[in-house]
Structure 1
Amino acid sequence: MKVEARKRARKRLDERLRALQPAESFRAPPKGWVRALRDALGMTGAQLGARMGIRPQTVEAIEKSEASGTIQLSTLRRAAEALDCTLVYALVPNTSLEAAVNERARKIALRELKRVAHTMRLEAQGTGDADLEARVQAYIRDQLTERDLWSEK
């Protein structure tokens, strides 16, 4: 079943990404990693440029583009290699992937159930909030597929 396979994949990714939490601890230094590492190694811009096969002015441009967030990954990878480093690239979710899927499903279910409840109230057939959680879970189970979660309506 595809749903179960995706759920297992989310769980595996959540486990792998947990080591990167909190992502705040991996925030780049103010002048960027290239500059911070180069300075820590005692390497000049000219020396890094020679290792990369580029001019010192280009090294300065690379460092500025990294600090401003406009550097290309391929350029950052080349600089990392010249600094004898490995570029590590990851997207770290703010919550677990499973929590994101569950939260999104709940949001959609509540929106749809409120719409139905409003219509029923207009027809004097209101539903109480007492069984709301059960209705939310039933809606998620019976009406939503994972593909529905990310379509904007």
Structure 2
Amino acid sequence: MKPEARKRARERLDQRLAPLKPTDRFRAPPKGWVRAVRDALGMSGVQFARRLHVRPPSIAALEASEENETIQIKTLRRAAEALDCTLVYALVPNDSLEGAVHARARKIAFRELDRVAHTMKLEAQETPGTGMDERVEAYIRNNVRDRDIWDEP
């Protein structure tokens, strides 16, 4: 995928994911979503087991696996359907995808520009303090754009 196409894809995903922020609204209840919804519906574990076509002891294991964050998505989807719910699954960036790419590019640019500045200082060729932000953005435009910014940790 070309850089401009990736940028458009990031922007589209950022727009789709924006309504999901802030993510703390979606933090699971202490015993998990399955248990919270089941209890709110007034459905017993036995009734829920019948709807899932499993034995009643499996319900405690299912709810415990959600609480421990070890539940499989497939199992969670089946549980949601049995509760007449829809499983919503998304990875919501803490910032934005575009912001993450730009922050990573800035980190690389700062590191590279610091290296160059250090070498020039050692060789007594230090440049006067021109705007660092301008130099960083220029470095990103000219050097980072086509590079895979995720190669290094």
Sequence identity of aligned pairs in percent? 65
- C-alpha spacing 1:31/1:147, structure 2 compared with 1 (3 Å): farther
Aligned length: 153
Counterparts of 2:40 and 2:100, CA distance in 1 = 39
Counterparts of 1:47 and 1:147, CA distance in 2 = 56
TM-score normalised by length of structure 2: 0.95
Q: Which residue of 2 aligns with 1:47?
A: 47
* Deviation per residue, 1:19-72 (Å, 9 max, x gap): 100010011111001000110011111111011111111100000010110000
* 3-state SS, counterpart of residue 59 of structure 1: helix
Q: Which residue of 2 aligns with 1:103?
A: 103
* Deviation per residue, 1:95-124 (Å, 9 max, x gap): 111111111111110010001110111111
Counterparts of 1:129 and 1:56, CA distance in 2 = 71
Counterparts of 1:128 and 1:46, CA distance in 2 = 75
Q: What pairs with 1:8-23 in structure 2 (closer than 5 Å)? A: 8-23=8-23
TM-score normalised by length of structure 1: 0.95
Deviation at 1:134, TM superposition (A): 2.2
**Runs of 4 or more above 4 Å deviation:** none
- Ranges in structure 1 where 5+ consecutive residues have no aligned partner: none
